[in-house]
Chains A and B, each alone.
Chain A
Amino acid sequence: MKKLLSLQLPVILLVLALFNSCAKEYSGSGWNTPKEDYNLLINFTPVVDTLKLSFDSTYKNYFDEPYKVSAFKFYICQFDLINTDSNKVYNVNKDKYFLIDAADSTTWKVKLSAVPFRYNRISFTIGVDSARNVSGAQTGALDPAKGMFWTWNSGYIMAKLEGTSPLSNQPNGKFEYHIGGFKGIENAVRKPLLLFPFGVYSEITPNTKSIISVNANVNAWFYNPHDLKIEENPVVTTPGVLARSVSENYSKMFTVTAVKNE
């Protein structure tokens, strides 16, 4: 028995050493449930006016043009949380980019970590900051494999809306709006300010988080301040004055519908 033990002991020690020596590098699932690393959730819902967007439905824009949507995506980043009572502005997750894709509901939830405070406005950039357009190969949400990058005229497509309409003169009635451009007057980067419903605040404390629900309305693309008729302009796929106009339209597509603190 003694003999057996003295043989086993080193083996056990050896095995233990093998398993333990790098324990601190182990970060897989099971041992520690990771602490939630966000306290602010922005929950985007793609809509057409008041209806939740469906790729199977036909909608009408301000000019009564019928259309169907086949793709709707946009980049957002550089979030500012604002309290107008105390004029405080907190910039959160400065360098993080999110690609909201109507076809993939897992991308609709944007998780951020904010300074615990009471907020009544939110602002964020729609698009990709000029620096990221000129500093070489990016990754994550900005991976060019996401199909939101112009390869022949370097730069990101900031927002994309594609679909069909009987009023388009293009093959199969396609319409395609790929909006981008970051230089000078072509700059299509927008930063709208979103108000909360009257009397509603986002309250973030060390123990509670806040959920802000935001609708993104496709119909905003076609109207105000610039008229965009599918019949006249079914294709906008290069930076320029027209693309910038569309970006001014869609910068108004967001509405905060609810704020929940829990």
Chain B
Amino acid sequence: MKKKLFTILVLCVGAIAWMQVNSCKKKDIKTGPTAVAFTTPPGFPAPPFNFTNNPLTQEAVSLGRRLFYDGQLSKDGNFPCSSCHQQFAAFATFDHDLSHGFNNQFTTRNSPGIFNLAWHTELHWDGGINHLELQPLAPITAPNEMAEDIGTVINKLKADSKYPAQFKAAFGTEEINSQRMLKALAQFMVTMVSANSKYDKVRNGQGTFTGTEQAGYTIFQNKCAACHKEPLLTDLSYRNNGMDLHPFLLDYGRMRITNKKEDSLKFKVPSLRNVMLTFPYMHDGRFYSIDQVLNHYATGIISSPTLDPLLANKIVLTTTERTQLKAFLNTLTDSVFIADKRFAQPQ
């Protein structure tokens, strides 16, 4: 009997000692989120995204992914980010000039593909958003897009039993606030790198163009690459490419942000990566095919004081050259990216 009591005592003392040693050492035990390294694809410049202020972790990226696909970020639950940014369309809206928003409304611009955002210091066709973390605020609150109030979104997330644990895993406590939501969304989006097209393989010496593709590449380098600069296939600048002012949308582009008349009708040069998946084209989606785009550059350019000087002489291609150029543009499709399970809707 005594022996039994002694055993209990020893066990208890042992337990107390163990607790004293361990219970206050939370910081020493590796329980925090797991860091994720951002890999810059070969030949890409260093990304300007500030990872120090928002270090990538598996947990926050995974939280961002869940948020990206969550309809609760919209007023009626029907418009998650993914409703206008579909993976099979390189995260643009497939086959829509303008996308659909809350209460049967159209958006006012063509939904751009989401990839390689780590290299973008400004977002939107007019560059009005100055940080990736702030980007989701625009569609969430726009009355014709997700039409929701940020405070209400946060309350919905707080009321959803699956989120507190995910926020804790990503940020250390269960607190849910807009900063954490936005940082998580930014982390997910910044991991969406598209650099696995045939064009990339050729650049990296892992593949070869066909003769037609190679001819198209040469045409591209001579006539397109000044704006659609390699390897991002955009120079991220704002330019007027000679389209007339849309009579209904009355969208003056960059001028709305800078209030400068020299920025009238200028829009951000879109990347040509995945261009075959992201039709329709231009900021208002007015062209449904590459041929329509090429027709515009050949015969449709409207002259105006802010027209880009590089387009002053138009871009005229022969029928053969068009075929070759389109063959090259086909090599820009990143089929690995659009099938990457890391970016798909979480189960």
Q: Is the CB of B130 within 8 A of A13?
A: no
8 Å CB contact of B8 from A7, A25, A151, A152: A7
For chain B, give the interface size range. 35 or more
Q: Is the CB of B154 within 8 A of A145?
A: yes
For chain A, give the interface size range. 20 to 34
With an 8 A cutoff between CB atoms, is A10 at the interface? yes
CA distance A152 to B124 in the complex (A): 9
8 Å CB contact of A22 from B15, B24, B137: B24
- The 8 A-B residue pairs with the shortest CB-CB distance, nearest first, are A10-B12, A136-B133, A137-B182, A139-B179, A145-B150, A151-B137, A137-B133, A21-B23
Q: Is the CB of A134 within 8 A of B24?
A: no
Which of A136, A152, A240 has its CB near the most chain B CB atoms (within 10 A)? A136
For residue A25, which residue of chain B has the nearest CB?
Answer: B24
Q: Is the CB of A136 within 8 A of B132?
A: yes
Interface residues of B in 136-162 (CB under 8 A from A): 137-138, 140-142, 149-151, 154
Q: B247-259 CB contact bits vs A (8 Å, 1 = yes)?
A: 0000000001101
8 Å CB contact of A14 from B15, B141, B178, B186: B15
Contacts of A138 in B (CB 8 A): 179
Task: Say whether, besides A6-B5, A7-B5, A25-B24, A145 and B151 are in contact (CB < 8 Å).
Answer: yes
With an 8 A cutoff between CB atoms, is A57 at the interface? no
With an 8 A cutoff between CB atoms, is B53 at the interface? yes
Q: Output the least CB separation between A180 and chain B (Å).
A: 13
With an 8 A cutoff between CB atoms, is B204 at the interface? no
Q: A6-23 CB contact bits vs B (8 Å, 1 = yes)?
A: 110111011001100110
8 Å CB contact of B53 from A3, A133, A136, A143: A136
With an 8 A cutoff between CB atoms, is A24 at the interface? yes
Q: Output the least CB separation between A13 and chain B (Å).
A: 6
Q: Is the CB of A6 within 8 A of B178?
A: no
Which of B131, B178, B183 has its CB near the most chain A CB atoms (within 10 A)? B178
For residue A139, which residue of chain B has the nearest CB?
Answer: B179
Contacts of B150 in A (CB 8 A): 143-145
CA distance A7 to B19 in the complex (A): 20
Q: Output the least CB separation between A239 and chain B (Å).
A: 7
CA distance A134 to B122 in the complex (A): 10
- Chief secondary structure at chain B's binding surface: helix
Q: B149-187 CB contact bits vs A (8 Å, 1 = yes)?
A: 111001000000000000000000000011100110010
Contacts of A134 in B (CB 8 A): 130-131
Contacts of B12 in A (CB 8 A): 10-11, 13-14
Q: Is the CB of B24 within 8 A of A24?
A: yes
CA distance A143 to B138 in the complex (A): 14
With an 8 A cutoff between CB atoms, is A106 at the interface? no
Contacts of B137 in A (CB 8 A): 144, 149, 151
CA distance A149 to B53 in the complex (A): 20
30 A–B contacts, CB within 8 A, in A order: A6-B5, A6-B9, A10-B9, A10-B12, A11-B12, A13-B13, A17-B19, A17-B20, A135-B50, A136-B53, A136-B131, A137-B131, A137-B133, A137-B134, A139-B177, A139-B178, A143-B178, A144-B137, A144-B150, A144-B178, A151-B137, A151-B138, A151-B141, A152-B138, A153-B129, A153-B257, A154-B131, A155-B130, A186-B259, A239-B259
Q: A208-237 CB contact bits vs B (8 Å, 1 = yes)?
A: 000000000000000000000000000000
Contacts of A154 in B (CB 8 A): 128-131, 134
Contacts of A137 in B (CB 8 A): 131, 133-134, 178-179, 182-183, 186
Q: A150-168 CB contact bits vs B (8 Å, 1 = yes)?
A: 0111110000000000000
Contacts of A240 in B (CB 8 A): 259
Q: Is the CB of A135 within 8 A of B131?
A: yes
8 Å CB contact of A136 from B8, B140, B182, B257: B182
Q: A185-209 CB contact bits vs B (8 Å, 1 = yes)?
A: 0100000000000000000000000
Contacts of B11 in A (CB 8 A): 10
Contacts of A10 in B (CB 8 A): 8-9, 11-13
A-B contact sample (11 more), CB < 8 A, given A10-B13, A136-B54, A154-B131: A9-B9, A10-B12, A22-B24, A25-B24, A136-B50, A136-B186, A137-B131, A139-B179, A145-B178, A151-B134, A151-B141
